[in-house]
Every structure is written in C-alpha cells, then in structure tokens.
C-alpha cells in the first residue's frame, strides 16, 4: 500500500513531487485551447510522453489513440497498465483549455508558468489592487501557487494521474489494472468523453478488462485556505439550458393596447425564474443553485416606433435530484404562469386606460399559448409538407458555422416559427444546449461501496490535521465529463425531441458501460481567468499518493467480485 507522505517525508520515485510538477509544467507548455490545432496535437505529444515510460516501452500495444472529432481531428489517449485479473479502475481527465485571450498583453506568456508568474507579480505590484488581486499577488509571491492557462484546469490533475500510473507500473506485484483516459473538448461540448464513452466497451473487450470504477481529476476553486478545495465529490450536478421564445403582437407606441407586449410576457417569465430559490432542486443530500437567465433580448435589428413582436430568453438550470422530464414540465408551468399573469396585467391596464379616455383602447388579448419545440416542428412540417425535413436540415447546415448554441437555437426556432406561421400571443419552449445529466454514488451497488470504502481508507491515512483533511461533498458544482462517465442510460426523449441543434443531442451507445465515478482533483483559484493558479503543495505532494492509495485499496477490494457491469 502506498504510504501518504507526512510533513517531513515525501514519497520517492514516480510520486516525487518534483516529477509531478515537471509533468504539469510540460503539459501546460503545450497549448491546447479548445477548437484550435493545439488541442489536436496535444494527444500526439501526450502519447510520446507516455511511451517514454519504461512500462510502455515494454508494452507499446497498451496505449491507444482514439479518434474523437473536429478538424483537425482530435484524439483521446487511453493507456493501460496491466496487473493480475480483469478488474480495472480508470483515472480520467480532459486536456483542452479555455482561450488565452483574457491574458491580453501577457497572452504570449500564458502557457509559460514561470515567466507568467514573474510578469503577473510585476504588474500587480505596480498598481492599486482589488482584494482579489491582493490575494493573487500574495499567492504568487509565496511560491505555493503556480500560474498558467490550464495549470489548474486541469493539467495538474493530469500530471497527478500520470504519476499514479507510473507508481502502479513500478510495482512488481499488481492486483488489477489501471486505465488512464485523457480526452479533448470538455470545455465546449464534451465531445471527447462522449466519443470515448461510446468506444470504451470495445476498448475494454480488446484489453480484456472490466472497468469497475473511475476517478475524474477535475478542479475545485477555493478562495480560502483549501479546506473547501480538498474535496471528494460523490457525483456531479446536472445541467439543462431551457429557452423561451416569446411571440407577442406588435403595436404602434401611440396605440399600445392594440397589440400584446412580448416584452411584458418575457418580463413575467423572467420574474418567475431569476434566482428563484423555490425552484432550486433539493433533496436530503444537497441543494442545487436556482435557475438564472443567460440571455434576454428582443429580436429586432433596427429602430421602429412599434413594440417588438418577439423576445428571447435562455436559462441555466442546474439540478441533481429531479429528472430532466420533470424539470421541463416545471419549466413549462412557470413559463405559462408568468406569461399569462403578464397578459392579464396588460389587459387590466388596457381596461383602466379605456375608462380614462372614455373609449375602448384595444381588443382584449387572448391568453398565451405554450408550444414545445417538438410541437413547433410538427406545425412547420404540416405547413411545408414533405420537403420539411430537407429544408430544416439545409437551414441547420447553413447556420452550422455559429459556435454559440444560444444564438443558433434562437435562429433555428425563429425560422420554424416563420415556417409554421405561428402568431402571438404564444411561447415556444425547448432546450438550447447539451444536456449534462447528474450522477452520484449508489451505495446499494457493490463497486460504488468499494470505491467509497477505498476513499475512506485514504482519508483516514491523511489524518485530520486542518491543512491535510479531505471532505466529502455530494455533487461537483460545475459541469464536467462526469456527466458522461460510467452512465449507461442518460438519454431523455423529452430533451432530444426539444433540442433544435442536432449535434447537441446526445446519443449514448446501448452498450455503454456502467460504473461508479467520483471527482478528486487539485484546488486553486480563478480557473479560466487571467490569474488562474494551482495550489502546488496539494496538487504535487498530496494528490498523487492519495490517488495511488485509492487505486490500490479499490483494486484489492474489487478483485473477488470483479465483473462487467453494462446496461
């Protein structure tokens, strides 16, 4: 069993913190921003690094490059260290990073950790600083934090995983198998892990292993002393992006009550959702954040003295306990209630104004209709006839260059509204992004319990000193590849049928493997930001032997009942 290092003792060999640090610095220097050529070439550089490890020099066929997506084509890297038996645990992570644009004039240094830190210290020291910048300056001057794009999110985690793999390979007697899985495109559409998920059953068959559990090594932000950041997440949050396209009846500004205000309906909907605590998903284990609006805009391109006919709303709704179908049903209820109340208020204002001027100011507006995107497609298909599917595909292809899912969803939905000749007052509802399903450990499952027990063993070895303690948390609060890791049945017909963008409809393979997954990774501050930095002592000294301990404990416990679990 790996012994976790004490304050005055560091693990030798592959788990030497200097080795882990060097791996992180090397991988940070390989630019891999999502959607750039660097993301595609990173896998080649990573494969070369792994093939220099003695185990893979002796077993070159235990590394696989799995084609994923994009132009140039990106690849996932899978590396296996084989031991006794078929049971295996996987260490996973993504190697793409967000853009370096927010470094501005320091962008050329964004992936050179040492030079960047020096430049950031010089910049911060030369001017007045916010509280956040004051903390960043102190962190960088202390030497305990390393800066750089991807240093925190999440190449330090990858480095810890490689060190754990090297440690496992260095053992003459190995119980079970360790699988390393590194993927592209977590930051945009999780295409890397989704394509790898679909390829994994064949990979496991080729390697003759049973994948029984996985540890994702994504990151946590902590603005304090690390107590929040040193965490094990027993699951991940789910995410949906519901939208509402509001259709009113425009009117001249001098005669407002001759129409129905799309803005007023949208305002009523927005008031029902924005930060509404009663809509926060809650159970006995956790409370997810409430829904929040990501975009709100009218759809006119120019100036007119008329009210806009259409208004667009898109929301972020995180959840963990309810189902996607239940969330959509609640969304429809709240949308219709908010819009209907707004129309009723508008009608009451019309009555009041009519009484004041002594004549009728406009017709009584109709109650708004709620139409799901799936229903809208049917209406458009009836209007266009047999050519509908081809016409829709042509329109989607024409707009495929648009990277923003909210914009593309809005344009496609607007096109369908025109094709179906939908008039207001009405609201079209659906989903404008990829569905990230939630996940959690299920303690009635054998391997879930074994993974939990292995982690508890490692926590005990760490001790309870404040600077080293590790806490359990129910759900990783950011979207992550865990949503597609080890989950076999994550699809929802309601979500797929109401998502306009076909590439954002996830189609899990029927053969997808089921296994428990948790997240244990580095902590730091301000990932995705200019001052992104990782806490080096935890990432390089504590995390690698912690992972090694869990791997050993789990594989030992899983050996008697190792079996393929698939749905």
- What would the pLDDT profile of 526-550 be if each residue is shown by its tens digit? 999 999 999 999 999 999 999 999 9
> Of 439, 391, 400, whose CA–CA distance to 418 is shortest?
391
Predicted confidence band at 350 (pLDDT cuts at 50, 70, 90)?
Answer: confident
Predicted confidence band at 258 (pLDDT cuts at 50, 70, 90)?
confident
**Cβ atoms 265, 245 nearer than 8 A:** no
**Integer Cα distance of 556 and 552 in angstroms:** 6
Collect all residues with Cβ–Cβ distance below 8 Å to 36 and sequence separation of at least 6. Answer: none
pLDDT of residue 103: 98
pLDDT digits (tens, 9 = 90+) for 504-520: 999 888 899 999 999 99
**Residue 448 above 70 pLDDT?**
yes
Cβ-Cβ contacts under 8 Å for 178 (sequence gap 6 or more): 80, 81, 83, 88, 89, 90, 91, 164, 165, 168, 551, 555
Size of the chain, expressed as the number of residues it contains:
567
Per-residue pLDDT at 486 exceeds 70: yes
Q: Give the H or E element holding residue 65.
A: strand 63-67
Return the half-sphere exposure (C-beta side, CA atoms, 13 A cut-off) of residue 250.
12
Report strand pairing: 310-319 vs 242-247.
antiparallel
In the structure encoding, which two tokens stand for residue 519, read together? 């997240």
| Beta-carbon contacts of residue 469 (< 8 Å; ≥ 6 apart) | 227, 230, 459, 462, 463
Q: What is the reported pLDDT for 492?
A: 79
Any bridge partners for residue 371, and if so which? 428
Tokens of 516: 């428990």
Per-residue pLDDT at 6 exceeds 50: no
242-431, CATH topology level? Alpha-Beta Plaits (3.30.70)
Least Cα distance to 12 among 149, 153, 145, 166 occurs for 166
Contact 216, 281 (CB under 8 A): no
> Which residues neighbour 274 within 8 Å (Cβ) at sequence distance 6 or greater?
291, 292, 293
567 pLDDT more than 60:
no
* Cα-based angle 138, 144, 146 (whole degrees, multiple of 5): 90
CA distance 22 to 158: 12
- pLDDT at residue 5 in the model: 45
Of residues 326 and 364, more confidence is placed in 326
CA distance 523 to 224: 11
Q: Are 428 and 244 in contact (CB under 8 A)?
A: yes
Cβ atoms of 489 and 320 closer than 8 Å = no
In the predicted model, is pLDDT for residue 412 greater than 50? yes
Asked whether the beta carbons of 525 and 139 are under 8 A apart, the reply is yes
**Lowest mean pLDDT: which of 217-221, 226-230, 400-404, 562-566?**
562-566
Helix (H) or strand (E) run with residue 390 in it: helix 388-398
Q: Which of 232-241, 341-350, 485-494 is predicted least confidently?
A: 485-494
CA dist., res. 246 & res. 300, Å (int): 13
Quote the longest CA-to-CA distance of the chain.
Answer: 95
CA 150/CA 135 separation, integer angstroms = 20
pLDDT at 228: 92
Query: What is the model's pLDDT at position 8?
Result: 40
pLDDT of residue 459: 93
What is the dihedral angle through the alpha carbons of 15, 16, 20, 23, rounded to the nearest 10 degrees? -110
CA distances (Å), origin 101, targets 97, 108, 271, 529, 549? 12, 10, 34, 10, 39
Cα–Cα dist 410/446, whole Å: 45
480 pLDDT above the threshold of 80: yes
- Tokens 């404008």 map to which residue? 432
- Interval 138-154: pLDDT, tens: 999 999 999 999 999 99
Q: What is the pLDDT of residue 319?
A: 96
Query: What is the average per-residue pLDDT within 273-284?
Result: 96
Residue 94, beta-bridge partner list: 183
SS3 478: coil
Residue 563 has pLDDT above 50, yes or no: no
Burial 123-146 (b: 16+ CB within 10 A, else e): ebeeeeeeeebebbbebbeeeebb
Q: What are 192's two structure tokens?
A: 């890397």
What residues form DSSP beta bridges with 245?
312, 428
Query: Which is higher by pLDDT, 462 or 44?
Result: 44
Preceding peptide of 237 cis, ω within 30° = no
Residue 259 has pLDDT above 50, yes or no: yes
Confidence at residue 490, expressed as pLDDT on a 0 to 100 scale: 63
pLDDT for res 9: 42
% residues pLDDT > 70 (the chain) = 96
What's the mean pLDDT when you consider all of the chain? Answer: 93
Would you state the pLDDT for residue 466? 72
Q: Is 85 left (phi over 0), alpha (psi -120 to 50) or beta?
A: left
Domain 13-237+437-488+507-558: which topology?
Aminopeptidase (3.40.630)
Segment 466-470 shows an average pLDDT of 80
State the pLDDT at residue 303. Answer: 87
For the full predicted model, state whether its pTM sits above 0.85.
yes
Supply the pLDDT for residue 351.
85
The end-to-end CA distance of the chain, in Å, is 33
The one-character DSSP state at 260 is: B
- Predicted pLDDT at 560: 59
- Omega into 539 within 30° of 0, i.e. cis? no
- Asked if 332 and 374 touch (Cβ cutoff 8 Å), the reply is no
Calculated CA dihedral for residues 389, 394, 397, 403, nearest 10 degrees: -80
* 188, two tokens: 């945009």
Q: Domain-by-domain residue ranges, the chain?
A: 13-237+437-488+507-558, 242-431
The vertex-412 CA angle with 407 and 417, nearest 5°, equals 125
């Amino acid at each position: 069993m790996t012994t976790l290092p004490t304050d005055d003792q560091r693990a030798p060999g592959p788990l030497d913190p200097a080795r882990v640090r060097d791996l992180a610095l090397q991988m940070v220097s390989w630019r891999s921003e999502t959607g750039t050529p660097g993301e595609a070439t990173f896998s080649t550089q990573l494969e070369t690094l792994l093939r220099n490890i003695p185990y893979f020099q002796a077993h070159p066929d235990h590394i696989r490059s799995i084609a994923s997506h994009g132009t140039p084509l990106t690849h996932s890297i899978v590396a296996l260290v084989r031991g006794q038996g078929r049971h295996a645990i996987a260490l996973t992570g993504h190697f793409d990073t967000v853009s370096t644009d927010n470094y501005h004039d320091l962008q050329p240094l964004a992936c050179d950790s040492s030079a960047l830190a020096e430049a950031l210290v010089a910049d911060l020291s030369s001017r007045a600083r916010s509280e956040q910048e004051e903390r960043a300056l102190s962190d960088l001057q202390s030497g305990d934090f390393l800066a750089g794009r991807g240093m925190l999110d999440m190449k330090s985690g990858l480095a810890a995983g490689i060190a754990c793999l090297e440690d496992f390979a260095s053992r003459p007697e190995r119980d079970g198998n360790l699988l390393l899985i590194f993927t592209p495109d977590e930051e945009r559409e999780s295409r890397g892990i989704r394509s790898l998920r679909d390829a994994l059953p064949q990979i496991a068959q080729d390697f003759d292993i049973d994948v029984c559990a996985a540890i994702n090594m994504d990151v946590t932000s902590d603005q304090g002393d690390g107590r929040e950041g040193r965490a094990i997440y027993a699951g991940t949050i789910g995410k949906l992006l519901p939208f509402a396209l509001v259709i009113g009846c425009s009117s001249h500004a001098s005669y407002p009550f001759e129409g129905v205000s799309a803005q007023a309906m949208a305002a009523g909907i927005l008031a029902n959702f924005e930060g509404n605590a009663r809509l926060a998903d809650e159970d006995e284990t956790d409370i997810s954040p409430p829904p929040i609006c990501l975009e709100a805009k009218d759809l006119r391109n120019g100036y007119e003295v008329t009210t806009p006919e259409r208004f667009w709303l898109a929301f972020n709704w995180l959840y963990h306990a309810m189902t996607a179908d239940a969330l959509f049903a609640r969304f429809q209820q709240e949308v219709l209630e908010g819009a209907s109340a707004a129309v009723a208020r508008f009608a009451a204002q019309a009555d009041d104004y009519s009484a004041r001027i002594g004549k009728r100011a406009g017709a009584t507006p109709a109650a708004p209709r709620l139409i799901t995107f799936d229903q809208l497609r049917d209406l458009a298909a009836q209007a266009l006839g047999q050519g509908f599917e081809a016409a829709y595909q042509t329109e989607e292809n024409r707009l495929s260059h648009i990277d923003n899912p909210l914009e593309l969803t809005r344009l496609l939905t607007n096109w369908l509204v025109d094709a179906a000749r939908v008039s207001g007052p009405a609201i079209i509802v659906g989903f404008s992004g990829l569905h990230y399903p939630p996940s959690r450990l299920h303690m009635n499952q054998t391997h879930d319990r074994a993974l939990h027990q292995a982690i508890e063993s490692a926590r005990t070895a760490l001790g309870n000193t404040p600077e080293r303690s590790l806490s359990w948390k129910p759900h990783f609060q950011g979207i992550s590849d865990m949503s597609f890791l080890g989950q076999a049945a994550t699809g929802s017909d309601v979500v797929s049928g109401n998502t306009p963008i076909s590439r954002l409809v996830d189609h899990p393979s029927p053969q997808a493997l089921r296994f428990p997954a948790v997240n244990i990774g580095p902590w730091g501050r301000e990932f995705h930001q200019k001052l992104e930095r990782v806490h080096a002592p935890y990432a390089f000294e504590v995390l690698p032997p912690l992972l090694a301990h869990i791997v050993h404990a789990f594989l030992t416990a899983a050996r008697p009942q190792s079996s393929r679990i698939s749905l």
